[in-house]
Amino acid sequence: MNKYLYLMVFIGFFVVTLVGNNGCTIHPVEGEVDESPDTDDSSSEITDRSIPTKDSTLPYTVVEVFYATDRSRSESNAPNEFFGAKRGILSYGTTQVSIPLEHEVGEVERPSWWKFEFRENPEKHIVLLSISQKEKSKYFQALANRISATKEKSAFIFIHGYNVSFDEAARRTAQMAYDLKFDGTPIFYSWPSDSSWIPSLSLRYTTAENNASWTQTHLKGFLKDFVKDTEAENIYLIAHSMGNRVLTKAIKEMVSEQFSMKQFTAIILAAPDIDAEVFKRDIAPKIVDSSQSITLYMSSTDKALQVSKKVHEYPRAGDTTSGIWNDIQGIDMIDASNIDTSFLGHSYYGNSILGDIRSLIIEGKSAMERGLEREQGYWKLK
């Protein structure tokens, strides 16, 4: 028994030593959350490019990402815990996110127990360094200044899906902007999706569905304000999973209200967790003329959508086997089933598919020009 006790003591000492000597003591990642009202002219803070921030004194790159969220404020000031999963009022601000110099395209590097990493380190991981809240008027002024400083006056807005926290959305948005080499302004809209561990996944999913419906009005208002107050000329909307419900409903209402959509250059619907028949009948016909280009990425190997199909007893729009591509015109339907789609086959917007998205929004190429294989009624990624 004594030898096992000695072994446990040794392992414990080894772990404590690793944690105590973590690189974050040199480059702290807790950051500071600025909750004070903006008093300076926001234009003084604007640089020519939103990403990346070059600083030769830092062993990593910093990406500034704008956000809008209707999550409630938590009691913590730590960036990773600043916003919770409950409903709140719509608020605005910016985040600073680190990208390690040895970053792999498509990856969101995080601490790994397998590598004996127990704390975030911006030299190795994508880290939410800080959050700065802004008053609405100063927020849109800062956005307008930033966007006007870019060549194409462009921006993309990412709407995340189910089981995603605020900090995860910030990190993913920064990663996409960095990997795409996007010369515009990255923004994410974060709604109250709960990523905490709850024994009843069905309860958490039902809550997320309710919140996705609840937040839609806020997203619609944000998009209207964005178009009106920033004068962006090229806006790219990217939604994933359940976030597609939020986006498509907002776009559908804006079309019904005859709101001008000319600035929406492209809409990307990745793995939409939407009833396939509802999408075909009620959504696609309404949104098809809302943008110069609409692309829907689907997969027959998406396990999360397969689970959703079982829960709802009907196929989802992001499932290739739904067959809706036979009846929808004006939307590029792309089958991504052959792609390595990472964990649960539901995050493929973050890795291999980035090359196709880059060709679409950065190079402005059509599906045919991007070298996709043409099948009956849809395109296929090789």
DSSP assigned state of 376: S
Q: What pLDDT is recorded for position 197?
A: 60
Most confidently modeled range among 34-38, 70-74, 319-323: 70-74
Task: Give dist(CA 219, CA 170) in Å, integer.
Answer: 17
Distances (CA, A) of 371 to 188, 352, 367, 374, 379: 29, 15, 7, 9, 10
Question: Which comes out higher in pLDDT, residue 40 or 308?
Answer: 308
Question: Residue 205: CB partners within 8 Å, gap ≥ 6?
Answer: 162, 311
* pLDDT interval class at 376 (50, 70, 90): confident
Q: What pLDDT is recorded for position 353?
A: 84
pLDDT higher than 80, residue 343: no
Q: What pLDDT is recorded for position 257?
A: 97
Q: Report the greatest alpha carbon distance in the chain.
A: 77
DSSP assigned state of 275: B
* pLDDT interval class at 220 (50, 70, 90): very high
Mean pLDDT of the chain: 84
User: Can you tell me the mean pLDDT for 232-246?
Assistant: 97
Q: Lay out the sheet containing 60-73: strands in order across.
A: 33-34, 127-134, 83-100, 60-73, 185-190, 154-159, 234-240, 264-270, 294-298, 332-335, 379-380, 373-374
> Is 111:127 a contact under the CB 8 Å cutoff?
no
Q: What pLDDT is recorded for position 382?
A: 78
Question: Which comes out higher in pLDDT, residue 185 or 118?
Answer: 185
3-state secondary structure of 71: strand
Question: Residue 64: CB partners within 8 Å, gap ≥ 6?
Answer: 50, 51, 53, 94, 95, 96, 97
SS3 content of the chain, % helix, strand, coil (to 5): 40, 25, 40
User: Can you tell me the mean pLDDT for 248-266?
Assistant: 97
DSSP assigned state of 312: H
Handedness of CA 68, 73, 79, 85 (dihedral sign): negative
Q: What pLDDT is recorded for position 352?
A: 66
* pLDDT interval class at 41 (50, 70, 90): very low
Task: Give dist(CA 270, CA 238) in Å, integer.
Answer: 7
Distances (CA, A) of 158 to 7, 52, 86, 176: 48, 18, 20, 10
pLDDT higher than 60, residue 94: yes
Task: Give dist(CA 143, CA 290) in Å, integer.
Answer: 23
Q: pLDDT for 144-158, tens place per residue?
A: 999 999 999 999 999
pLDDT higher than 60, residue 99: yes
pLDDT higher than 70, residue 39: no
Q: State the residue for tokens 């000329």.
A: 233
pLDDT higher than 70, residue 55: no
Half-sphere exposure for 330 (CA within 13 Å, toward CB): 12
